[in-house]
Amino acid sequence: MVTMSPDRLPMDFSAVRRWLGARTESHNYVVTAFVLNLPFLFIVLWRHLNDVALTSLTSVYVGLVFLGYYALIVFVLFTSAFFILSFSKRLAVVASGAVMTATLFYLVVNSVVHSIYRFHVDAFWLVYAVTNYEGFGIPSTVVITAVVILISIVALETGLFWLARRVRRQRLLSVTFVLAAIAALTLGQSIHIAAYYNSDSRITSVTSQLPFYYPVTSSKHAKKYGHLLSLPTPSDVTARDAPSSIQYPLRDVTCSVPAGKQAANILMIVLESWRYDTMDEVVSPNMHAFSKRSVVFETHFSSGNATPHGIFGLFYGIHPTYWEAVKGNSAAIDNPVLIDALEANGYDLGIYADSHFDRHKIKETVFADIEVHESFTGKNADAKDEDLTRQLIAFIEENARANRPFMGFAFYKSTHYSYRYPEDGAHFLPAQNLNVALLGSDTDPTPYLNDFRNAVRHVDQLVGEIVQRLETLDILGQTIVIITSDHGEEFDDNGENYWGHTSNFSRYQTQVPMIVFVPGEEPRHVTDVTSHTDVPVTLLQEALGCGQDEHDYSNGRNLLGPQGKPRPIVVAGYVSHAFVLDDNVYAVYPMKVHSYKLSDTRAPAATPRADLMKQAVEETSRFYRGAKDRGS
């Protein structure tokens, strides 16, 4: 048995203490250098903001965000690098300095790009610009300028680290910074919770202007704590007066139904999670029969793989990457152009949705000051959808009797997980209630897909009742009917264990049915690629006679007009968005890009086309205030 002499233990512990002490001292030195970086980081970040007064509440909030979000994140990054490489003090210090250099370089480049185009350089644009800058149209002089900026920042960091060595009481400065950053994080996010709850755009409008900024937006926390915090508002300033980061529409849009022409009614029916390949004579016989009298778009994409972004595209007609900016400036925007035009032309609006639209800010951004009917009798979604149908039909009948134009919107929930239908409605067997905890790559999707099909067939019967009532009332000939979905639904179609939605941007989660019935329009099938962003343009031009260029208020095209050249499709989810170009998907996450084929997530995507990328840049920046290209 080997024993260790007691007199050696203190020596070993003393060595450990010396080792840790030396690393802690070096880390305090690195933190000191970072504190010296803060003024430069703040100056660069401030360049992203529009007309923020230094003495305003917004500037106080922005300062808290700078210290309690950006500075804290960079601190965590370089501290992680430091301790991973702590076996060598010199290497740990160099790695920490590299993190600070890279951060400042990115923020400088991003601030320049944002000042011109009003979008942030995320992982996708960074990789694309580096690997194909010539195809993207970036001249060599810009590359040279970027290299000069990088060299200048390296020189600056070298000087700051040199200066940090001469700062006394580095430990106290390090501890003070960490405590201040944590306090700023707590206070800053508390202010945002209150602003989000009260739709105070003085605060919420900042979110889309700052890169990689994801504040607390939980509806649950906003409702729980938002009313406890009151934000000071000067007597002569309201939230509506706050500087807006978005300009939508670019110009006022005026629409009026031509004299002597009866205004067309509009009915939009949306099935939750309805995937494109379940609109057929077997699963949805009523809607399929109606499609034979309509224009069917066979390659149609939602603007989202989640409800908020799908609904956003249907009503705003702009890419879902604007969703955060619209939410943050909802007080200034009020409602989408489509809703404003309908109200201005005397339409009665009937919005029926079993989905708690206020939870995701859909109500206040799409249906502000408009009653949204959300109370339906029944225990489960299938029964509630039946009552929704009864209420919608009553709304239609009331307006038909009054000979008043109407816009009806129905959002059906039965087709959302966990797929509801009456007990005697199991048309497709075997059916099995989906248990997400038991799913795996070896799970047979057939029973779960049949469960979904049964739910679709149930809603199909309800839609059939609505169409039949329109015909009985003899108003189908004066009504534009749109039947579609907010997004698709996946059942491990690519063998990668993806189920439901919001998890990727494959065809199964993004491609949806689109049936458009316009009185007098010849029934046909359209194979061109179309998008939810096309719907508002179509309705504004076909129902309301808006003749001006849709460039002013939409990224879409009239579905009934020529579709023209290929186009980028933009789809968004809760934490990511994607560019769909031909059969290629480029999914952009905060710190990475995942590219694959639209039809098979296991297959790699091709290099994106430069012309479509340029078009995507223009379209996704057009409605930000101060963007370079406003069009003619």
> pLDDT (tens digit, 9 = 90+) per residue, 335-350?
999 999 999 999 999 9
Beta carbons of 622 and 116 less than 8 angstroms apart? no
Residues 198, 274, single domain; the answer is no
pLDDT value at residue 601: 92
Determine, yes or no, domain membership for 618: no
Residues 224, 329, single domain; the answer is no
Residues 458, 516, single domain; the answer is yes
Beta carbons within 10 angstroms of residue 132's beta carbon: 14
End-of-domain residue from the set 567, 585, 617:
567
Residues 299, 371, single domain; the answer is yes
Nearest CA-CA partner of 34 in 63, 95, 75: 75
With cut-offs at 50, 70 and 90, classify the pLDDT of residue 236: very low
> pLDDT (tens digit, 9 = 90+) per residue, 471-494?
999 999 999 999 999 999 999 998
**Helices H, strands E: what count in the chain?**
20, 14
Nearest CA-CA partner of 459 in 489, 516, 420: 420
With cut-offs at 50, 70 and 90, classify the pLDDT of residue 115: confident
Q: Which residues pair with 353 in a beta bridge?
A: 411
Determine, yes or no, domain membership for 583: no
Residues 223, 269, single domain; the answer is no
Q: Which residues pair with 564 in a beta bridge?
A: none
For 389-417, what is the mean pLDDT?
97
Q: What are the DSSP E strand ranges found in 191-294?
A: 265-271
| Whether the predicted pLDDT of 253 surpasses 70 | yes
Would you state the structure tokens that stand for residue 290, as one six-digit string? 């109606």
End-of-domain residue from the set 521, 537, 567:
567
Q: What is d(CA 434, CA 436) in angstroms, rounded to the nearest whole number?
A: 6
DSSP letters spanning 431-450: -----GGG--TT---HHHHH
With cut-offs at 50, 70 and 90, classify the pLDDT of residue 13: low
For 104-128, what is the mean pLDDT?
78
Determine, yes or no, domain membership for 597: no
With cut-offs at 50, 70 and 90, classify the pLDDT of residue 538: very high
Q: What is d(CA 11, CA 366) in angstroms, rounded to the nearest whole number?
A: 70
Beta carbons of 454 and 419 less than 8 angstroms apart? yes
pLDDT value at residue 237: 44
Nearest CA-CA partner of 95 in 104, 83, 108: 83
For 375-397, what is the mean pLDDT?
96
Determine, yes or no, domain membership for 611: no
Please report, for residues 382, 494, 566, the alpha-carbon distance to residue 434 in angstroms, rounded to integers and kept in the order given.
16, 18, 38
Q: At 565, phi and psi to the nearest 5? A: -75, 165
- The number of domains in the chain is 2
Kindly compute the dihedral angle of the four CA atoms of residues 23, 24, 25, 26, in this order, to the nearest 10 degrees: 50
Determine, yes or no, domain membership for 117: yes
Would you state the structure tokens that stand for residue 95, as one six-digit string? 């790695």
pLDDT value at residue 235: 43
Cis upstream peptide for 430 (omega within 30°): yes
Would you state the structure tokens that stand for residue 18, as one six-digit string? 């010396």
Nearest CA-CA partner of 515 in 284, 301, 302, 296: 296
Q: Which residues contact 550 (CB under 8 A, 6 or more apart)?
A: 317, 537, 540, 541, 556, 557, 558
Determine, yes or no, domain membership for 276: yes
Nearest CA-CA partner of 598 in 321, 306, 305, 313: 305
Cis upstream peptide for 249 (omega within 30°): yes
- Helix then strand then coil, in percent of the chain rounded to 5, is 50, 10, 40
**Percent of the chain at pLDDT above 70?**
87
pLDDT value at residue 103: 94
Nearest CA-CA partner of 486 in 366, 328, 343: 366
| Whether the predicted pLDDT of 242 surpasses 60 | no
Residues 237, 270, single domain; the answer is no
For 372-394, what is the mean pLDDT?
96
pLDDT value at residue 9: 46
Nearest CA-CA partner of 453 in 268, 291, 280, 304: 280
With cut-offs at 50, 70 and 90, classify the pLDDT of residue 134: low
pLDDT value at residue 632: 40
What is the enclosing helix (H) or strand (E) of 350? strand 348-353
Residues, the chain: 632
Q: Which has more pLDDT, 218 or 104?
A: 104
Nearest CA-CA partner of 403 in 478, 292, 471: 478
Q: Which has more pLDDT, 70 or 194?
A: 70
| Whether the predicted pLDDT of 131 surpasses 70 | no
pLDDT value at residue 631: 46
Determine, yes or no, domain membership for 30: yes
Residues 458, 504, single domain; the answer is yes
Q: Which has more pLDDT, 536 or 361?
A: 536
Residues 291, 354, single domain; the answer is yes
Q: Indicate the average pLDDT of the chain.
A: 87
Range 575-579 contact pairs with CB under 8 angstroms and sequence separation of 24 or more: 575/214, 577/320, 577/321, 578/505, 578/510, 579/124, 579/608, 579/612, 579/613, 579/616
**Percent of the chain at pLDDT above 90?**
60
Nearest CA-CA partner of 412 in 364, 457, 358: 457
- Residue type at 66 in one-letter notation: F
What is the enclosing helix (H) or strand (E) of 352? strand 348-353
Q: Which has more pLDDT, 200 or 450?
A: 450
| Whether the predicted pLDDT of 585 surpasses 60 | yes
Q: What is d(CA 32, CA 234) in angstroms, rounded to the nearest whole number?
A: 38
Beta carbons of 373 and 350 less than 8 angstroms apart? yes
pLDDT value at residue 15: 66
Q: Which range is most confident: 53-67, 156-170, 241-255?
A: 156-170
Would you state the structure tokens that stand for residue 273, as one six-digit string? 């999670």
Residues 393, 525, single domain; the answer is yes
Q: What is d(CA 362, CA 341) in angstroms, rounded to the nearest whole number?
A: 18
Q: Any idea what the CATH number is for the domain that residue 398 is in?
A: 3.40.720.10
- Residue type at 493 in one-letter notation: D
For 355-371, what is the mean pLDDT?
87
Determine, yes or no, domain membership for 615: no
Residues 273, 237, single domain; the answer is no
Residues 270, 223, single domain; the answer is no
SS3 295: strand
Would you state the structure tokens that stand for residue 474, as one six-digit string? 């003899």
pLDDT value at residue 229: 53
- Radius of gyration (C-alpha) of the chain in whole angstroms: 28
For 114-135, what is the mean pLDDT?
66
Residues 216, 275, single domain; the answer is no
Q: Which residues contact 517 (CB under 8 A, 6 or more apart)?
A: 290, 293, 294, 295, 476, 479, 480, 481, 482
End-of-domain residue from the set 522, 547, 567:
567
Q: Which residues pair with 569 in a beta bridge?
A: 580
For 30-42, what is the mean pLDDT?
95
| Predicted TM-score of the model (pTM) | 0.83
SS3 515: strand
Give the structural domain span for 341: 265-567
